[in-house]
Amino acid sequence: MTVKRETAFGRLIMLNGPAGTGKTTILRALAHEWRRWCQVDCVLDPEALFGDPEYLMEVAIGFDGDQDDGDQDDGDQDDGDREAAGSGGPGSHHDDDAGDLGGEQARELDGARRRWRLLVIEDCDELIRGDTRGSSGQALSRLLNLTDGLVGQGRDVLVALTTNEELVRLHPAIVRPGRCLAQVEVGALPYDEAAAWLGTTDGIGPTTTLAELFALRDGRTPVQTTRPDTHSGLYL
């Protein structure tokens, strides 16, 4: 949550854990925390994005015009400052230092104003599983190229992935050291933490997922699934 654009080393964020443990909730909190400098977009068609090089390049390259407006009050203040500095009317003047900015300083200023983008891809188990083959393997290759390969060089793009798979089942290229800005395993809450969150011990088991806690808090009975007995006796 404390990462800023200046300290964003690594372009991949990995959240893994069982369903209902709060991966999407973490991403919502992250989007709110980073709202001043990073725009969050949900990718609804990852197969199309990573299956079409032209589409991928459009996403990776087409963000130069985005500016960091920050909160509305800050944006209004910035507009006022720009209007005052660039009005050109009688009595107006430009800051000599700002006018004499060199190319490198101008690029640094532009980089500070540029708005980053976080692409969120949820439940992408097939994309990053260790046994990917064929088109899925090509999609994984392009994903990695976007995060820290040539495609992503110089682009202010982050990618957040969520998966229900265990780390041991993910492709080694995804989980190798140095690949991720953050890798978070999201699990169910232990008894003490769940009871503290809910404020009571009623309905709390040894471990409880965030989804189950919300259901208990709202007075809703968690859905119980019944599976048919597939036991067919001894083998012949």
From first to last of the 236 residues of the chain, give the pLDDT tens digit: 888 888 878 788 999 999 999 999 999 999 999 999 999 989 888 888 888 888 888 887 654 444 444 444 444 444 444 444 444 444 444 444 444 556 655 554 555 567 888 999 998 877 776 555 555 667 888 888 888 777 767 788 889 999 888 877 787 778 777 778 888 899 999 999 999 999 999 989 999 999 999 999 998 876 565 555 555 555 54
3-state class percentages of the chain: helix first, strand second, coil last, to nearest 5: 45, 15, 40
DSSP for 185-205 reads E--PEEHHHHHHHHTS-TT--
Query: What is the distance between the alpha carbons of residues 204 and 156, in angstroms, rounded to a whole number?
Result: 43
Tokens of 32: 């709110």
Sort residue 119 into left (φ over 0), alpha (ψ -120 to 50) or beta.
beta
CB neighbour class for 183 (10 Å; exposed up to 12, middle 13-18, buried from 19): middle
Query: What is the distance between the alpha carbons of residues 66 and 111, in angstroms, rounded to a whole number?
Result: 11
Total-model pTM = 0.67
Q: What Å distances lie between residue 32 and 5, 42, 74, 98, 186, CA to CA?
A: 15, 14, 16, 32, 19
Query: What is the distance between the alpha carbons of residues 148 and 178, in angstroms, rounded to a whole number?
Result: 10
Rounded to 5 degrees, φ, ψ at 16 are -130, 150
Look at residue 34 in the predicted model and tell me its pLDDT: 93
Query: What is the distance between the alpha carbons of residues 203 and 26, in angstroms, rounded to a whole number?
Result: 24
Tokens of 70: 């920050």
Output DSSP code: residue 70.
-
Domain ranges of the chain: 5-65+114-187, 72-112, 188-223
Query: What is the distance between the alpha carbons of residues 52 and 84, in angstroms, rounded to a whole number?
Result: 45
Is domain 5-65+114-187 in CATH 3.40.50.300, yes or no?
A: yes
CB 181 within 8 A of CB 8: yes
Look at residue 225 in the predicted model and tell me its pLDDT: 53
- In three-state secondary structure terms, 117 is strand
Q: Bridge-partner residues for 3, per DSSP?
A: none
Q: What Å distances lie between residue 121 and 23, 65, 124, 153, 162, CA to CA?
A: 11, 23, 6, 20, 7
Look at residue 73 in the predicted model and tell me its pLDDT: 47
Query: What is the distance between the alpha carbons of residues 224 and 126, in angstroms, rounded to a whole number?
Result: 27
Q: Which residue's entry shows tokens 């015009």? A: 65
Output DSSP code: residue 22.
S
